[in-house]
Structure 1
Amino acid sequence: MQAKLFALSLGFGGLILATDRALGQQAPQCGARETVIAQLADRFGESLQSFGLAANSAVIETYASVETGSWTILVTLADGRTCLLASGQNFERIDAPATPAGSPA
């Protein structure tokens, strides 16, 4: 279940980034990874909750604060830039056991 939720969050993150670029809106907020992570920790109390590797060799990370409920999804691109994909409130940690591949959910 947790793996499926993470996979869905990766898909939604990619969709958000693709939609933003397709609509010609302002570019995602990007910066040095160390600076972005430090700001998430200092300003929002967020820490790394999950990460995965996207098909384009980008690293997708979810940062969140279980105390305040804030969350942020970041993408670190192959060129080293870290960009904000999405952020919000009401983060809830789910510590469900992993379902083996091929098993019904």
Structure 2
Amino acid sequence: MKAFLSALILAAAPAAAQNSDCGPHESVVATLAAKYGETIKAMGLEQRGAMLEVFASDETGSWTIVVTAPGGLTCLIASGQGFDAVGEILGPTNEKT
């Protein structure tokens, strides 16, 4: 599953770049903050070095997922409404997973 998600993320970044949904990391982060009130909520590194970040607004619930390539190009991957931070995820018997 992780390999599939990694492939999906890496495949989506070049497609986003073709649609001009990419730019320098600092500019993308500044735009998300200024225009949508979004701040970083989660981040992780993909096995090939790309960084995935989730931004969201506590006020409006808007969210954006971006991926930054090792060279610094940041591309928007997805965005939407209704962001809700989840604490711990419980398994089928309400045990911590």
Q: What value does the CA root-mean-square deviation take over the aligned residues?
A: 3.2
SS in 1 for 2:18: coil
Amino acid aligned to 2:23: G
Partner residue of 1:27? 18
> Does the Cα contact within 8 Å between 1:70 and 1:87 map onto a contact in 2?
yes
The one-letter code matched in structure 2 to 1:27 is Q
Gapped regions of structure 1 (runs ≥ 5)? 1-6
Superposition map of 1:19-58 within 5 A: 27-28=18-19, 29-58=21-50
Give the match for residue 3 of structure 1.
Answer: none
Cα distance, 1:94 vs structure 2: 1.3
DSSP 3-state at the match of 1:57: coil
**In the TM superposition, what is the alpha-carbon distance from 1:67 to its structure 2 partner?**
1.2
TM-score (norm 1): 0.70
Aligned AA (1:18): A
Displacement of 1:74 after TM fit? 0.6
Residues 17-63 of structure 1: CA deviation (Å, up to 9, x unaligned):
63686xx7872511011110000000100000000000110000000
| TM-score normalised according to structure 2 size | 0.75
CA–CA separation in structure 2 for the residues paired with 1:64 and 1:79: 24
Q: Percent identity?
A: 41
Aligned partner of 2:8 in structure 1 is 15
Once residues 48 and 59 of structure 2 are traced to their aligned partners in structure 1, the CA distance between those partners, rounded to angstroms, is 33
Choose which of 62, 84, 94 in structure 1 pairs with 2:76.
Answer: 84
Unaligned runs of at least 5 residues, structure 2:
none
